[in-house]
A and B are shown apart, each in its own frame.
Chain A
Amino acid sequence: DQQVKQNSPSLSVQEGRISILNCDYTNSMFDYFLWYKKYPAEGPTFLISISSIKDKNEDGRFTVFLNKSAKHLSLHIVPSQPGDSAVYFCAASAFGNQFYFGTGTSLTVIP
């Protein structure tokens, strides 16, 4: 039973536009969330995180939004660049417990 779901396996966006990647979770005890980015033939690299005491965290072009009532988080990339083309994973954990990962969304930014 998947506790973290990324229902869109792929997304294509024009360069310069906004990319929105979505993630849903089922466990209301989750209180910390991460986004990882993965290029082909490389391991995932940490991108941005958010804890449940916040509903938004921003780092440059990347912003993560958390809607606890909907058990939903999203990653916004503005403006999107071709180098952002990668697979994006969200992960969630409850305090003191392991992280659970989604299946990933493959983002393609078209020049």
Chain B
Amino acid sequence: ETGVTQTPRHLVMGMTNKKSLKCEQHLGHNAMYWYKQSAKKPLELMFVYNFKEQTENNSVPSRFSPECPNSSHLFLHLHTLQPEDSALYLCASSQAQSWTDSHNYGYTFGSGTRLTVV
């Protein structure tokens, strides 16, 4: 499968649960990103990984824990979330090797995971 694949597509979890979101890309991209889209808010950057190293953490609460075991896979581990964390979580990848580079390459987004915290 080509492009950026996210699983699951939908997730409902309780506040005491632990779950993980998965993202996979087969584009040979070096950079991978987690974005959050809440209702009527812009896309918010959460984490950036470049060559498996985390290069950006946008003041995200510790109940969100990213993991990048290799350049093709990115996880977002979730624990003790709050109802306000309900949102669409989008993964993206890019050929960019730095923010400077990102001007030359766009992002390829996955379809997202619709998360509902109850």
Contacts and interface: CB of A to CB of B under 8 A. Distances in A.
B61 interface: no
Contacts of A88: none
Contacts of B56: 98
A45 B112 CA distance: 13
Given A41-B111, A46-B106, A102 B42 contact: yes
B109 A43 contact: yes
B90 interface: yes
Interface residues of A, number: 27
A96 B56 CA distance: 13
Interface stretch (B13-21, B64-72, B73-81, B94-102): B94-102
B112 A43 contact: yes
Contacts of A2: 42
A50 B98 CA distance: 19
B92 interface: yes
Interface residues of B, number: 25
A94 to B, nearest CB: 9
Interface string A38-56: 0001111110010100000
Contact of B109 (A32, A45, A102): A45
Contacts, number: 57
Nearest to A89: B43
Interface of B: 4, 6, 9, 40-43, 45, 48, 56, 58, 90, 92, 98-100, 102-103, 106-112
Interface of A: 2, 4, 9, 32, 34, 36, 41-46, 49, 51, 89, 91, 93, 95-104
Given A98-B45, A99-B107, A101-B43, 19 more contacts: A9-B40, A34-B106, A41-B9, A43-B4, A43-B109, A43-B110, A43-B111, A44-B90, A44-B109, A45-B108, A46-B107, A46-B108, A93-B103, A95-B103, A96-B99, A98-B58, A98-B99, A99-B45, A104-B42
23 contacts: A2-B42, A41-B9, A41-B111, A43-B108, A43-B112, A44-B90, A44-B107, A45-B108, A45-B109, A46-B107, A46-B108, A89-B42, A93-B99, A93-B103, A96-B99, A98-B45, A98-B99, A99-B45, A99-B107, A100-B42, A101-B43, A103-B42, A104-B42
